[in-house]
Amino acid sequence: MASEPRILHFHDCADVGGALVRAAKRHGLHWDYLSAEAVRPSNRPNNPLVSKGFTAKLLLRNRRAIAKADIVHIHYAMVVPNAQNKFMPERPYFLHLHGTDIRKHWANGRRKSKVQPWIEGAERVYYTNLDTRENAEEAFPGAEFMPAFIEPDRLVPWAYTDQQPQKIVFLSRWEDIKGAPANIALARELRRAFPGVALEGLDWGDQTEQARQAGVNLVPKMGHSDYVRWISEATIAIGQAQPMLGVSEFEAMAIGLPVAVLGSRIPRPTDGATPPVIEGDLDAVVEGIRLALDDPFSATEELGAKQWVLDRHLADSYVPGLQRAYRETLGLDPSGV
């Protein structure tokens, strides 16, 4: 074994694994990484013979990567069989639950579900979505919260000035899982209340037509750099109408603009805090947006969201604890970090 454990982050969701690996590098550690596309490619050949060869190469690549690792940190429970099977070297693994795996697949049977043994087999378990805390702790007592991360060096400064037309952007795709029906109702009310303010959203999801009819100008899906630039040019951002926020909302907060979200948020288990956003029922959110449009800069200063996110959603602060856990699992002195 090398002086420090050899770690492989296997698969990914919301770029949590990628952010941890990049943060580890800043700490002088080298953790290997296989992305979601690398583990479960979307471009599998249709031809059965070609597909067979493709799968064989994939298994060989995964086997080599796992063989080099002392611990495999798996992101998303449904890919545990990809790393733990008769073709792969046996390695201890950490498991990161990312949403559907624990919210849906595990909940269908709970401790009798097919997912339970994959969770039980892990040395440690983490969960990212606050609404899955109860499930995660039932499936694995001692499961720990680890949030989604933002990376400031991948963002841009807030570009809005009071000399330009005001614009409100909807950050999420138009689907039920993102609270689209509620946000479409919000869009209708915003269109009525602020006829001179542009409304924009992504042309993405199964309810885009309803969003368009509500007065939202839809723009094409875009890569991350263009997406954060689009956010930075807005006056206010609207988040997913759910009790927890995602990376997009945290990125908007870190960029610096006010974020508004219908409903209320689940407190974090670590400090009991909730994101500082404009929130409440439809009337309260519209009124909060009205005040923010009157003075966007004062609104963002009063919310203090940028520093809140930087204090809680950077991967760097989680690397030392993870490294200690890796060392402890392998019987090494955890204080050696």
Is 107 found in the same domain as 251? no
Report if residue 53 sits inside a domain.
yes
In a domain, 54, yes or no: yes
Q: What percent of the chain has pLDDT over 70?
A: 99
DSSP string, 298-321: HHHHHHTHHHHHHHHS-GGGGHHH
**190 shares its domain with 293:** yes
Residue 89 counted as domain residue:
yes
Residue 335 in this model has a pLDDT that exceeds 90 = no
Give the pLDDT band of residue 45 (cuts 50, 70, 90): confident
Same domain for 214 and 167 = yes
179 and 305 inside one domain: yes
Question: Can you point out the beta strands (E) in 104-257?
Answer: 125-127, 144-145, 167-170, 198-202, 217-219, 236-238
Asked if 118 and 21 sit in the same domain, the reply is yes
Residues 233 and 326 occupy one common structural domain: no
Residue 335 domain flag: no
| Torsion 243-248-251-257 (CA) sign | negative
Query: CA-to-CA distance for 129 and 320, rounded, in angstroms?
Result: 22
Q: Grade residue 337 by pLDDT with cuts at 50, 70 and 90.
A: low
28 and 111, same domain (yes or no): yes
The alpha carbon of 234 is separated from its chain's Cα centroid by a whole number of angstroms, namely 22
* The residue type at 43: N
CATH number at residue 296: 3.40.50.2000
Domain annotation covers residue 170: yes
What's the structural domain count of the chain? Answer: 2
Cα atoms in the Cβ-side hemisphere of radius 13 Å centred on 115:
24
What is the distance between the alpha carbons of residues 80 and 150, in angstroms, rounded to a whole number?
Answer: 26
Residues 229 and 138 in one domain: no
Mean pLDDT of the chain: 96
Indicate if 14 and 142 belong to the same structural domain: yes
pLDDT at 334: 83
Does the pLDDT of residue 2 top 70, yes or no?
A: no
pLDDT tens digits, residue range 82-111?
Answer: 999 998 999 999 999 999 999 999 999 999
CB atoms within 10 A of CB 159: 14
| pTM, full prediction | 0.92
pLDDT in tens, 248-285: 999 999 999 999 999 999 999 999 999 999 999 999 99
Residue 65: pLDDT over 50: yes
pLDDT at 47: 82
Residues 34 and 142 both lie in one domain: yes
52 shares a domain with 17: yes
pLDDT of residue 1: 47
pLDDT tens string 5-43: 999 999 999 999 999 999 999 999 999 999 999 999 888
The model's pLDDT over 143-189, given as tens digits with 9 standing for 90+, comes to: 999 999 999 999 999 999 999 999 999 999 999 999 999 999 999 99
Same domain, 170 and 83: no
Q: Which residue range forms the structural domain that includes residue 226?
A: 152-311
Q: How far apart are CA 80 and CA 93, in angstroms?
A: 9
Residue 337 domain-assigned (yes or no) = no
User: Is the four-CA dihedral 285, 287, 293, 295 of positive or negative sign?
Assistant: negative
Q: Note whether residue 336 is domain-resident.
A: no
CB 106 within 8 A of CB 115: yes
